[in-house]
Amino acid sequence: MPAMTLPEKILARAAGLDAVRPGQIVTCAIDLLMMHDSGGPRRVAARLEQLGATVWDPSKVIVVSDHFVPAADLDGAEILALTRRWAAANGVTHYDGIGICHVVLQEHGHVRPGMFCVGGDSHSPSGGAVGAYMVGVGATEITGALVTGTLWIKVPETLRVRIDGALAPGVAAKDVMLHLCATLGMNNDRYVVEYAGSAVAALSMAERLVLCNMTAELGGETGIVEPDATTEAALRAAGVPEPIDYARWRSDPDAPVARTVAIDGSRLPPQVAAPHSPANSRDVAEAERVRIDQAYIGACTGAKLSDLRMAAEVLKGRKVAKGTRLLIAPASTAMTAEAAREGTLATLTEAGAILLPTGCGACAGMGAGMLAAGETCIASTARNFKGRMGSPDARVWLGSPYTVAASAVAGHIADPRGFLA
């Protein structure tokens, strides 16, 4: 048996083969398919009806309503209603308004090591945080996958990113990914990115999700982290009883990879990305004193419980600057409840943060939190493309929750390290 990387092992299993090699085209059986309200039933229902086709296996399909919740207008309400009707008619699991799809999948233990998963959203690589191969596709491919239960894949090469050394206080996985966007660029479509090293092993599941999620910004096919005791603990917390076969779901030591990139995490300062691309990233010191109108802590990448805690570390005992608004949209209702129980939510709101409903909201330019022409925002989201959060004449910077919170207090982009004890 030839030596294989973890992604290759997963694709080989899904394709029913002993081994696969980069460049090989294989047809993989899908273990889980996820759609959301924006790219799901509203896009595929009519196509399935025209084809006279049905869902291949409803037990393997998850639909999450997160983009239009809560409905801000009649169009949004109709989309949500269509999503509910379609899910009920097809017998698929539907989560309505309880969180962002990528977070909900992990909170409920749907994605597990070694699985081959497909998502109808570009940030579906988030599933790689638990050691699965999860790829995002568009509505046409989702339609075919719903009917056949399969997806063809051209086996990508593996790009290994090794992050060693402890991340400094005030530095998070988001800073790592912004640094990678600047150094590797956003055209890495031939690769699956495997994150490894002592710094990755030390990260929580929530922070590993950021690495895999933002592989989409690198342009990678998907991202993945080898499962370990942290993975197992997270799955246990999600109600998954089965133990993890660590030996099976690891890259072979002698498996060839296309390239290895090494980062010394202990030397990485906080990063920010200038408008209008995550690749416009640089050390925060190069952007300090850029005035902001809005700070936004939200999205699958930047509003998990750990992110809210980062912001609270900075905001405790402080106030949001006059003339600056800080908006916070937690990534799930369960995380909102836990943040309230432990006092994190009180710290945020006492500082002057405005609490928004759980959902994709302002990150996707929907509902509350959109930007007007000429306004500048710093956000914990993954993207800052022109017009992404409202007016095409607005400017969006990206940063970690630490940096966003510090900037909200200062009224301009600020290094969070000076705000931490």
CATH of the domain at 184: 3.30.499.10
Residue 4 lies in a domain: no
Cis, bond preceding 125 (omega within 30 deg of 0): no
206 and 281 together in one domain: no
Residue 1 lies in a domain: no
Query: From first to last of its 421 residues, what are the pLDDT tens digits of the chain?
Result: 899 999 999 999 999 999 999 999 999 999 999 999 999 999 999 999 999 999 999 999 999 999 999 999 999 999 999 999 999 999 999 999 999 999 999 999 999 999 999 999 999 999 999 999 999 999 999 999 999 999 999 999 999 999 999 999 999 999 999 999 999 999 999 999 999 999 999 999 999 999 999 999 999 999 999 999 999 999 999 999 989 888 899 999 999 999 999 999 999 999 999 999 999 999 999 999 899 999 999 999 999 999 999 999 999 999 999 999 999 999 999 999 999 999 999 999 999 999 999 998 888 888 789 999 999 999 999 999 999 999 999 999 999 999 999 999 999 999 999 999 7
167 and 67 together in one domain: yes
- CA pair distance 180, 419, nearest whole angstrom: 25
User: At CA 205, angle to CA 204 and CA 209, rounded to 5?
Assistant: 120
344 and 312 together in one domain: yes
Cα–Cα separations (whole angstroms), residue 46 to 235, 274, 289: 36, 40, 50
What is the pairing mode between strands 93-96 and 61-65? parallel
Q: Which domain holds residue 414?
A: 271-419
Phi, psi of 184 (to 5 degrees): -100, -20
289 and 239 together in one domain: no
- CA pair distance 263, 265, nearest whole angstrom: 6
How many structural domains is the chain composed of?
2
Q: How many CB atoms lie within 10 A of CB 382?
A: 25
182 and 318 together in one domain: no
215 and 283 together in one domain: no
Cα–Cα separations (whole angstroms), residue 18 to 3, 5, 21, 296, 414: 11, 13, 11, 47, 52
Phi-psi group of 390: left, alpha or beta (phi > 0 → left; psi -120 to 50 → alpha; rest → beta): left
231: three-class secondary structure by DSSP:
helix
89 and 207 together in one domain: yes
Q: Residue 210 CA to chain centroid, in angstroms?
A: 5
User: At CA 252, angle to CA 247 and CA 257, rounded to 5?
Assistant: 145
